[in-house]
Amino acid sequence: MKMLRHLALLLSLCTGLAVAQQEPARPFVDAARGPTPITESTKPPVLGNAVNDDVRRTRNYAMQPPTIPHRVDGYQIDKNFNKCLDCHARAKTEMTQAVPVSVTHYMDRSGRTLAQVSTRRYFCMQCHVPQDGVRPIVQNNFQDVDTVIQRAMQAQKANEKSSKK
């Protein structure tokens, strides 16, 4: 009985190897990279012109970090200096007319208010990103929660009207 199991296992293993040898392995491709397999390096695309219109954009959800509406090429943001705070620090916003840093950036993990921007909120571009005027790589059908609720209410009203007739 044991011999029969070993023989069946050996036969299935040989069959699997024979099938594996017949088909060449296809390289794994990520759609965001295009047709280039992920194991190969590609030349990065040339950077476009960043949006530099200083227009505040609508946020898609509560607590979403606002996007950066201006160029930030060459900004120094490290443990010694933060270029963003030249304009966005609360003490400088009256003169620069920039949007001040949120009060949440002046709080530590325990919720205590600090005199300076918290070190965990100091590296702005971890959350805030500049925008480029480019086509999206993938189609985006995102709808914010207000739009979803509004459409659901409209559909409900339409169903109520049609059921009354």
Instruction: In whole angstroms, give the CA distance from residue 71 to residue 25.
Output: 44
Task: Provide, rounded to the nearest whole percent, the portion of the chain with pLDDT above 70.
Answer: 93
Task: Residue 122: name the closest of 77, 76, 55, 56 by CA.
Answer: 77
- The secondary structure element, H or E, covering residue 80 is none
Q: Give tens-digit pLDDT for 1-53.
A: 677 777 777 777 777 666 655 666 677 888 877 888 888 888 877 777 888 88
Instruction: In whole angstroms, give the CA distance from residue 36 to residue 28.
Output: 9
Q: What is the mean pLDDT of residues 122-147?
A: 87
Instruction: In whole angstroms, give the CA distance from residue 116 to residue 85.
Output: 11
pLDDT of residue 152: 95
